[in-house]
Structure 1
Amino acid sequence: MSLSLLARRWVAKLPACFRSNATSQSPAVIFEGMFRLNHLEEGLTRTKEERAGYFPAALDQSLANGRYTILRKLGWGTAASVWLAKDEKQQSHVALKIMTAFWTEKQGAYEELILSRVKTANTDHPGRAYLPQLLDGFDVESHHGKHRVLVTDVSGPSLHALRHDHLPKKSLLPSSILKQWLRELLLALDYLHTEVGVIHSDIRLPNILLDFPKSEDSLLQAVHDEPPKFYPTDTKLQGPVPTFVSQPFPVPSDIIDGHTPVPSVKLIDLGGANWVENHTWHTCHNEDMRAPEVILRHPWGPPADIRALCCVARSTASCCLGYTDLYILGYPSSGLSGRYSLWLEQMRH
């Protein structure tokens, strides 16, 4: 089936409001748009039995005996939603990662244990600065059950947001910026592999955050300039409380043009990490960045992270499609050899 035919079929399924300029987009962009359309925010009505059970947070809600006050939502993922909060004890801003009831029951304190090791393994290693720092942890209750909450330092938007929402179409990051970020990410991976003893296992653009300097006043100003938003009450997204719009901090407009110092990056989300010596999960990374040894079910280890980072760098530097995007768009997809035939063929060269 040709790519153009696939694109026309997908466009026909889109609502009119999303269809206006879809014919000028690549099939991959259209596919991504459909995904976003069906997954605007976390589903508050989905239960723990449906592998969810998100915490129904509310603005100005106090947690941990009044220590943390929720200010706005920063984002969400499969296992948690993330909120900006005020630490009333330290008079500072923090990020609260509130796990779903399902993942709290399934994982317990797994990610918290890894973050604790990140914090204490070797404070002199330069890679430690490019990983999230665990500040606190506690439990909260909802009608879904128990939720584990991880308190970390606040970071900025993801490289995914930078690339897709702030860079002009088909434009590239300056090589000097990309080299700096790759150096920092390699240091972070070296720290994880050699000092903490884990393989990150989920390296992708949404899990790499910008970490530009932020004062408490600048955070307050950002919340004031862009107040929290939520969806209308007549949408299907509504649950026991209003569904809030994810509002990560905006990308400073002068980062790319070189008028301000380039921010550092942080590699986040260690909930899917594997121990180097004893893997917790049987696989790692998205399919388009998965190492050949993982696909072929051979022994694998830290090099799988390095390959995934190379795929991220290649994608960011060249605006190319990932390997998964290629076979989604009409390449053979029957069986292991067919599904990855193009991918493995390119790996031979």
Structure 2
Amino acid sequence: MIDRFQYNIGVPAEDLAKYCHGGYHPVHLNDLLCDGRYRILDKLGFGSFSTVWLARDEVKEIYVSIKIVVAEQSHNHNGELQILQTITRTGDTTHPGHKHVSHLIDSFYHEGPNGRHLCMVLELLGPKISSVVNRRPNYRLDGRLARRISSQLLLGVDYIRSCGVTHGDIHLGNVLFRVSGLNRIPTFDDSRIGKVSRKDGAPSEKGVPEYLVEPVEYKFDKSEILDEIQLVDFGESFLIGNPPKSICTPTSLHPPELVFRHPLTEVVDIWNLGCTTYELVTGRTLFEAWMDDRELVPQFQKVLGGVPDQWIQDALKTGEDIQASYANGYDKETLDLDEEDLTTLGSYLRRMCIVEPTQRANLTELMSHPWVQVDKGTQKEQ
């Protein structure tokens, strides 16, 4: 692995040290992939195991997203690819949750200086919810919009469950807006390119890109409607019949069975759906932990109570905690959910955030809950 401290970089981007054998593929703007079919136009994001790019499909003449996986994870049995293929193969396209889940369009392998890389082509989406709320005055969505999106997220989870898949990593960073206007690509800014060079003037090591690109910031005019989402990133997903021993998801969202090292099942999605819904509506996390999930244990005891089967029930029974989280510190004119709405939300969350996994609500029960059913009526009125 190279020493990134020996390099000048210039822009915030992925870890340069991972541009080595088995690591990232060095991508440059206007690169062509898959025998010239896909032209790289801009960077959308990056993670520990991949970079994600805006590209143009020169055959279909559409814009797409391409996720380029690090070489060491690009084996023929890549878990995320298998999950996406399973969803494509078994999913019912008439299911209402189908449009709220990211789908595989194409996949191929690309040979580069750092190895052989799996490339997954997906629908081009808009910004993450987490990015949008960070630019809002109150750092959260309008209450009615948050409620509508929470319903869509439930539909998406129900859809992948019908395919025998557990997502395993539901959080606001993995929920993206669908945007109608993406036939126009984001405006590119040359200042987002950072030339890569060694501080001692020597040539860069093999596999290091000439420059890094800072991910694009989406900018939309007031006519753009952001009201529909997709659940993305199946890197931690698993088949219901073959659960892993552990999953990597944000520490504050670790379900109790992961914290206490109990067997994982598909209902980890129910816990994370509850925590994410709470954050989506209130703008605050239900629990907080940084690197060590043991930090969550005293919070479980403090926030949820002391008796295991009553932990979340007692805390959310009256809805007072939710009302406080929703209202405290916000301008009154921005509070578009009333006490009845928040009491309904509390009832919904109580069925998901239960410490004992076998006692959590099933998806059929959640789909018929007033929090979701009332929202369907609200959508029709708007």
TM-score scaled by length of structure 2: 0.69
Q: Report which stretch shifted further, 150-159 or 315-324.
A: 315-324
Alignment of 1:109-258 (within 5 A): 109-121=78-90, 122-164=92-134, 166-168=135-137, 170-193=138-161, 195-216=162-183, 218-219=184-185, 222-223=186-187, 226=189, 229-233=192-196, 239-250=208-219, 252-254=220-222
With over 3 angstroms needed to count, the CA separation of the structure-2 counterparts of 1:272 and 1:171, relative to structure 1, is closer
Extract unaligned runs of 5+ from structure 2: 1-10, 305-310, 316-382
Cα distance, 1:103–1:40 mapped onto 2, change above 3 Å: farther
Task: Give the Cα separation in 2 of the matches to 1:59 and 1:152.
Answer: 19
Distance 1:305 1:58, change over 3 A: same
Q: Distance in 1 between matches of 2:154 and 2:285?
A: 23
Q: Does 1:41 align with 2:18?
A: no
Q: Return the TM-score normalized by structure 1.
A: 0.75
Give the C-alpha shift of residue 47 in structure 1: 5.0
% same residue: 25
Distance 1:145 1:344, change over 3 A: farther
Equivalent of 1:341 in 283, 292, 298: 298
Per-residue deviation, residues 78-129 of structure 1 (Å, max 9, x unmatched): 1110001111111111111000112214x74321221122223211111111
Counterpart of 2:157 in structure 1: which amino acid? L
Letter in 1 for 2:84: L
Cα distance in 2, alignment partners of residues 82 and 65 from structure 1? 19
SS of the residue corresponding to residue 288 of structure 1 reads helix
Which protein has the larger Cα radius of gyration, Structure 1 or Structure 2?
A: 2
**RMSD across aligned C-alpha pairs, in angstroms?**
2.7
The answer to whether the Cα contact below 8 Å between 1:44 and 1:53 also exists between their aligned partners in 2 is no
* One-letter amino acid matched to 2:102: P
Are 1:288 and 2:257 counterparts?
A: no
For structure 1, which runs of at least 5 residues remain unmatched after alignment? 1-38
Q: Summarize the Cα distance change of 1:133–1:283 in structure 2 as closer, same or farther, 3 Å threshold.
A: closer
Asked if residue 93 in structure 1 is aligned to residue 60 in structure 2, the reply is no
Q: Residue 36 of structure 1 corresponds to which residue in structure 2?
A: none
Residue in structure 1 matched with residue 284 of structure 2 by the alignment: 320
Report deviation, 1:314.
1.7
Where does structure 1 differ by over 6 angstroms across 4 or more consecutive aligned residues? Answer: none
